[in-house]
Amino acid sequence: MNRRPQFQQLVFLAPLIAVITLGTARAAEVNYDETRAGVVSLPDPLKMEDGRSVTNAAMWRQLRRPEILRLFQTQVYGRPLPRPVAQSFRVVAEDRSALSGRATRRDVELDITAATNGTALKFTLFLPNHRPGPIPVFVGIHVFDTTHPHPQPARARQLTGAPKITMEESARIARATADLILSRGYGLASLNVESLAPDSGTNYWRGVAQLCGRTLPGSPGDEETGALGIWAWGLSRALDYFESSPEVDARRVIAIGHSRMGKTALWAAANDERFAAVISNNSGCGGAALSKRNYGETVGRITSSFPHWFCGNFSKYAGHEDRLPVDQHELLALIAPRPLYVASAVEDRWADPRGEFLAALNAEPVYRLLNAGGPGVSVQPPPDQPVTGSISYHLRHGQHALTEYDWEQYLAFADRYVANAENHRQR
Ligand code: GTR
């Protein structure tokens, strides 16, 4: 038996192994120390690429906004899929006495290719029976999963933050959430992610991307849309359906999302200005949180765990966030002047609550230019003390979740800035 060569090989490889191990240890370290989050120099949303300052609303709309949108499309999320040339919606089921007679439930499917009968999207819409239309609607992806008769425990966990939740408990929360929203006179719609883009690195393209012509597996190309962009496309298609339904007030549709679906809601509303308002609940990295801060989840981590969410180019900024030509406060600025709610949770450090607040704060100059207010404070408010304005914000005690407390704030925000606002679509 000659073990020596193996030993020699090991000695030879030792420095390499040490470097790899050290590298892994470093990569494994997540920074939660504010003093090490880095001094962030953010791109100025009101400074053109050629150096000119943006001094009025027309300049923002015609020149600067398209520049920023293009950067997000080519460097972060990918180029959006087009609106289908031909699309048809089918109501596959309707129950006019859902939720103990309080709501009408409608299951809708969208076909985008007549030839292959490709179902691109499935969603469920609940409308309150007690109020006449047209009805303002909250729309999100899986955000209302627990309103379904057989909620998924994993999704319920996401909604409640409870690590081990029973089906009964999740159904109870679902029902309470739905009752609350409907009793306040809003409709709610929940999209199913599977037909759009399954949330998996290997299968994400086997939905709408395939219907739109992708034939091979693999991560998104440099500027090709990832799953977040496909999910956002789905939100826009649901809005197309609302525009064709007289009971829905399509001018008052609020995109809402928790976590990865919060990122999606923001991106949907940035691209599609028909959304009247957006609510980002604990959306974190790739959502409301600044990418250039080193705190919690980083571009490096998110693009290695979820390469299928973003366009290929985004991963090039892993560890080089300083080179990003754009940051998430500018994503929020693309929502302006429409009402925007950003919410964080104290224990959700992975999502960088302070980075989420700073993004909202740094979107404010654009809101002001367009005669809308910002959060109205310059320091992050203490827990459970929401600040309201066209940009509203709260930091809630507790974990990564969409809770009843959050919903209470969102309903008050929707009442004030969307449902009862006459001028919310004026720009
Ligand atoms: C995490 C991911 C976050 C967030 C979250 C979620 O694993 O790192 O960016 O999106 O999932 O969606 O629940």
Tokens 């109205």 -> residue: 376
Return the CA Rg of the chain. Answer: 22
Q: Exposure pattern of 122-136 as b/e (b: 16+ CB <10 Å)? A: bbbbbbbeeeeebbb
> What gap in Å lies between CA 195 and CA 204, rounded to an integer?
10
- By C-alpha distance, which of 187, 191, 184 is closest to 252? 187
222-235 pLDDT, tens digit each: 999 999 999 999 99
**Could you tell me the distance, in angstroms and rounded to a whole number, from the CA of residue 134 to the centre of ligand 1?**
35
Q: How far is the CA of 263 from the centre of ligand 1 (A)?
A: 10
Measured CA to CA in angstroms, residue 45 lies from 51, 325, 327, 359 at distances of 11, 11, 9, 11
* 390 vs 284: CA distance, rounded Å: 20
> Residue 105 is encoded by which pair of tokens?
């439930």
Whether 380 lines ligand 1, by a CB cut-off of 6 Å, is no
Asked whether residue 9 carries a pLDDT value surpassing 80, the answer given is no
The amino acid sitting at 352 is D
> Which residue lies with its CA nearest to atom 12 of ligand 1?
260
Read off the tokens for 397: 């005690």
pLDDT band at 162 (very low <50, low <70, confident <90, very high): low
> Does residue 28 register a pLDDT over 80?
no
Ligand 1 site, residue 142, Cβ cutoff 6 A? no
Q: Is the pLDDT of residue 5 over 70?
A: no
- Binned at pLDDT 50, 70 and 90, residue 374 comes out as confident
The angle, 0 to 180 degrees and rounded to 10, between the axes of the packed helices 260-271 and 65-75 is: 140
Q: Is 244 a catalytic residue?
A: no
260 Cβ closer than 6 Å to some ligand 1 atom: yes
- Please work out whether the CB of residue 285 comes within 6 Å of at least one atom of ligand 1: yes
Q: Which of 259, 261, 282, 306 is the pocket-test mutation for ligand 1 (most atoms within 8 Å of CB)?
A: 259
- Which residue's CA lies nearest to atom 8 of ligand 1? 302
308 a catalytic residue: no
Span 348-373, mean pLDDT?
Answer: 97
For residue 2, report the distance from its CA to the centre of ligand 1, in Å.
50
Spell out the residues 6+ positions from residue 379 whose beta carbon is closer than 8 angstroms to its own: none
- Cα–Cα dist 369/280, whole Å: 22
Long-range contacts from 158-167, C-beta under 8 angstroms, 24+ separation: 158/258, 158/259, 158/401, 158/402, 159/258, 159/401, 159/402, 160/401, 160/402, 160/403, 161/345, 161/398, 161/399, 161/400, 161/401, 161/403, 162/401
Q: Of all residues in the chain, what percent carry a pLDDT higher than 90?
A: 74
Ligand 1 mean position, distance from CA 259 (Å): 6
Of the candidates 142, 258, 394, 400, the residue annotated as catalytic is 400
C-beta of 402 in contact with ligand 1 (< 6 A): no
Q: From the candidates 236, 259, 280, 291, give the one annotated as an active-site residue.
A: 259
Query: How many A from CA of 285 to the centre of ligand 1?
Result: 8
pTM value?
A: 0.91
The rounded distance, in Å, linking the Cα atoms of 183 and 203 is 38
On the question of pLDDT at 151 being above 70, the answer is no
